[in-house]
Amino acid sequence: MPEITRKSWLMVAILGLTWGGTFMVIEIALRGVTPFWLAAYRIGFGALLTTLVWQVRGGQLFAAPLTSHQHRTLWIIGFLSSAVPFMLLSWGQQYVTSGFAGVSMASVALIVLPLAHFLVPGEKMTWRRALGFVIGFIGVTILIGGQAFNSTGAQLELPGRLACVGAASCYAISSVLMRRLPKVDPVGLSAVLLLIGAIAVIPTALIVEGAPVLPDRNTLITVAALGLIPTAGANLLRVAVVRSAGPVFMSLVNYQVPVWSVILGALILSEPLPGSLIWALLLIMCGVALSQYGALRRLFFGERR
């Protein structure tokens, strides 16, 4: 059964803030490196860092040997949790609006909900939970605005949109499968998943974009920051949340990301705040409160129901 504690809420809040600010840093990094190689550098650097920490901690992964089916599942999670969605988003965002990409990421919560209902014990889809997630998604859509669904006129816009939705589906499926793994060291799991992702994305970058060009110093610093914080550090938190609180709770991060992206854009880049921000925040908070009603009651009142 999921164990949602104060620590779970704190980790989800940190993830929302971290990933919400990542888009600005990616824009800076893309000035000096191509999209697929950016994904490769991020995942590769993150894999090296987490593997180092894992080995210092003893290097143990699972408490018992895995079956062949569990081995295959681990590889699938590795591909779907970072490499495939990173590449799909890098390619898809060339042809769609950034707003559509944001809405696509918010849809992770709606995709996780039915999957977890059938595949994860203790994650049943109640009317309250479903309604809360729909209200939260409406809030995100209002925040991003109608421009999310405007056409770019690009010839490959439809495949680009499908790529963004595909990336969201990858995150949803990998979270559900991750929860179903046997007892595992979260640091080791984070390292192994990033290593699998690196195995997938580095050859793909070579095939699609050719040999990498050595980035300048500022780009290297930016890429290192991306590999350290929103990739290695955030992946550790994501694994911890999914394994303890469950994939449905983890999916709440996707409602926070667009909010933090807008707020940080205003604070750091002096971008104007949309007039819909307050209404969107209210809807998102209402949706979260409704979907996590039981967890919030236990958190503040110690009640079981």
Q: What angle do CA 180, 181, 186 make, to 5 degrees?
A: 120
Q: Which residues pair with 184 in a beta bridge?
A: 62
Are the C-beta atoms of 273 and 30 separated by less than 8 Å? no
- Cα 140 from chain centroid (whole Å): 16
Q: Does residue 240 sit in helix, strand or coil? A: helix
Residue 96 CA to residue 256 CA, distance in Å, equals 21
pLDDT tens digits for the chain (305 residues)? Answer: 678 888 999 999 999 999 888 877 887 888 888 888 988 999 999 999 999 999 998 888 887 777 888 889 999 999 999 889 988 887 887 788 777 887 888 889 999 999 999 999 888 888 999 999 999 999 998 887 766 677 778 888 899 899 989 999 999 999 999 998 888 888 999 999 999 999 999 999 999 999 988 889 999 999 999 999 999 999 999 999 999 999 999 999 999 988 888 888 788 878 777 778 888 889 999 999 998 888 777 767 665 54
CA distance linking residue 4 with residue 135, whole number of Å: 21
Contact criterion met (CB below 8 Å) for 176 and 123: no
Res 146: pLDDT: 67
Q: What is the DSSP string of 91-127?
A: HHTTTS-HHHHHHHHHTHHHHHHHHHHHHSTT----H
Residue 305: predicted pLDDT: 45
Q: Max alpha carbon distance in the chain (Å)?
A: 58
Backbone angles phi, psi at 9, to 5 degrees: -65, -40
Give yes or no for a contact between 258 and 144, defined as CB atoms under 8 angstroms apart: yes
187 closest CA partner among 295, 14, 49? 49
